[in-house]
Every structure is written in C-alpha cells, then in structure tokens.
Amino acid sequence: MKRALITGVTGFVGSHLAEYLAREGSGYTVYGLTRWLDPVEYVAALLARGGLTLVEGDITDLGSLIRVVQGVEPDVIFHLAAQSYVVASYAEPVATVTANTLGTLNLLEAIRISTPVPTEGPVVHVCSSSEVYGIPADGGRIAERYVISPLSPYGAGKAGADAVAYAYWRAFGVRTIRTRAFTHSGPRRGEVFVDSNFCAQVARIERGLAPPILFVGNLDSVRTFCDVRDMVRAYVLAVERCPPGEVYNVGGVETMTVGDMVALLLTLTDRKDITVQVDPSRLRPADAALQIPDTSKFRAATGWAPVVPYRETLTTMLNWWRERVAREAPPVAAP
C-alpha cells in the first residue's frame, strides 16, 4: 500500500480526496495533516471506519512538518492546505501569502531535509490555481504558457507556491507536480464561495429563514465549472501518470456567466418568487472575470475528462445546504 499524506484534509477538497483515496482497492493508506483547532466534521465518517489517520502539524511551522514527513514517510503528498478565499486575501494579504507561499516552501523544505535523495522521495502534488493567470490579454482559453499575472493577494500567494514548487524540482530534485485548478464545486464547499453561497441562500429562503431575495456580486463574470469529484480524480491521476516538474491546467467543460449559473440554480427550487439583487459588498476590487481553461495538456497526459454535469453538482450542493439548514433551524411559517 502507498502512503498518501493530504494537507488541508479537513477542508472541502481535502475531505473528498481522502474519501476517494480510502475507497476499497485504491492501493492507498491515507494520512491527513491537521491542526488541533481544525474541525473534523467532513472526515468524521472516514475516521470512524478507520479510513484516515490524522497527524498534527501546521504548514507555517517547519519543525512540525519535518516531524510529520519523517513520521509518516509518505510516498505521495497532496498539498491542498491554503487560505483559499480570494476576497479575504485583500483584507489579509500577509496572512494569505504566508500560508500559500511560505507554507508551500516549508513543506518542500521539510521534504528536502527529511529525504536523503529527493528524487527518490515522495511525489508532491502542489495545488495551484487559475487565479495566478489573472485575465488573458487575448480573452481566449487559458493555456499553461500564459504569463502569470495575478490580480489578488490570493493569486499572488498561489503564484509564489507554484514558483517554489518548480524551483525545488529544478534545484533539489523534489518531485513536484503542479496543477492550476479552475473553479470546482460540490457539497462541503464554504459558504463564502459563489455557487455554494447562492445554494445556502436558496436553502434558507425555502426554509422561511430569509426573504426571497438572492444577493449576488458580478453576474457577468465568466467561469468554467467542474465537480469536486472530477477534480480529486484528476489530482490522483496527476501523481500517478505525470512527470515531475510539469504544470497542468485542470478544469471543467461547462462555461457560463455567474448570471447563467444563477438562472440554472433557480430552476432547482420550487420557490418561484425569488428575485436577484446585486450587493456592492460582493464585488471584488479586481476580478479575474474571464476564466476558461485549456486542459488539453492534462488530458493528453492522463486521459482524464470530467464526467459530472454541472446541474448535478448544483443539485448535490443545494441538497447538502438544505440538510445543513434543516439541522440548524426549524422551518418558519410564511406570514
């Protein structure tokens, strides 16, 4: 059995990845990096059945990462831990770059220190982001060769992580593989993120906990959506089939404006009285408002293709929020 270590295991993508790796016949024993204060709700079922072992550490603490790497001796590391909310990065730029760039540097340095021959050490998947690109000058599909031009501290921090990962491969032989993930969604996605937030609002409206107004930001922003289950499958294929030092775009095939996404979401509820209202506080200072990926390089390397329709993604996410809202509060009768 291969030993897989996931940083950020208790989060949205990390928990889905842990479940995917822990499935019967996968060939992986799964470890997850966690801090003592991290909630374990999303991995509780996996922990209960023995599919995941948690190890304590922090990506901002090099010493703890050295202990973890030496203790687990992973064959594969999936580095997902990050400050992942773009809007928060404008308010907390130093914390964001510290977590995303310095945290990645700490992990790679821990591997370099702990592995006598890094080229024989773990394969390290470093999760970068489409936000490193900003907006392509020609407005077309974004390929890996595009100039890195982040528009937010989050994008800058991910660009730093991306660069550090490549440098550690070239300088020290640490076997890094970088993916630049485009928008991906599903159950457990944080409420601050666009489609998950809209699902949460609809679930509360249906429950009578909020007036029938859906508050939105930039409806003209263009995104290509992907289901989290397709994304974690891509991450595993990356470490199994891709050579170290390479970088790959990973994203879906369903491209639409945020306004189109809202229209699709509203077809999934019986509440036909919901109106849409732009909330200025939801508009970003600078928005990477055109994000359409060219994933041909990754497809050629792995044979991967997304299979979950975005309508299904929205449906599962809305149902997850309905269940969550139902646990939080009883229904309120309409006046």
144 with 241, same domain? yes
200 with 146, same domain? no
Residue located via tokens 């922990």: 47
Domain count, the chain: 2
Q: Tell me the helices (H) and strands (E) count for the chain, helix number first.
A: 12, 13
**Position 303 in a domain:** no
Task: Using alpha carbons, select from 95, 116, 98 the residue that is nearest to residue 106.
Answer: 98
CA distance 202 to 205: 5
pTM of the model: 0.94
Q: Spell out the per-residue pLDDT of the chain, length 335, in tens.
A: 999 999 999 999 999 999 999 998 889 999 999 999 899 999 999 999 999 999 999 999 999 999 999 999 999 999 999 999 998 999 999 999 999 999 999 999 999 999 989 889 999 999 999 999 988 766 678 999 998 999 999 999 999 999 999 999 999 999 999 999 999 999 999 998 999 999 999 999 999 999 999 999 889 888 899 999 999 999 999 999 999 999 999 999 999 999 999 999 999 999 999 999 998 887 667 666 678 899 999 999 999 999 999 999 999 999 999 999 998 876 655 54
Check residue 222 and give its pLDDT. 87
**Position 23 in a domain:** yes
**Position 304 in a domain:** no
Are the C-beta atoms of residues 28 and 52 closer than 8 Å to each other?
no
Check residue 331 and give its pLDDT. 61
Return the CA Rg of the chain.
20
Q: Which domain holds residue 280?
A: 190-223+255-290+309-328
- Break the chain down into helix, strand, coil percent, rounded to 5: 45, 20, 35
Which pairing describes strands 175-181 and 76-79: parallel, antiparallel, or unpaired? unpaired
116 with 202, same domain? no
214 with 107, same domain? no
**Position 46 in a domain:** yes
**Position 109 in a domain:** yes
**Position 298 in a domain:** no
Check residue 281 and give its pLDDT. 80
Based on the number of CB atoms within 10 Å of its own CB, is 63 exposed (0-12), middle (13-18) or buried (19 or more)? exposed
CA distance 18 to 263: 33
Q: Please state the φ and ψ torsions of residue 50, each to the nearest 5 degrees.
A: 75, 20
Tell me the CA end-to-end span of the chain in Å, nearest whole number.
59
Residue 5 β-bridge partners = 31, 77
33 with 90, same domain? yes
CATH number at residue 207: 3.90.25.10
108 with 139, same domain? yes
**Position 296 in a domain:** no
**Position 300 in a domain:** no
DSSP secondary structure string for all residues of 227-255: EHHHHHHHHHHHHHHSPTT-EEEE--SEE
CATH number at residue 52: 3.40.50.720
Residue located via tokens 């072992």: 53
CA distance 262 to 165: 36
Task: Report the SS3 class of residue 110.
Answer: helix
106 with 164, same domain? yes
60 with 128, same domain? yes
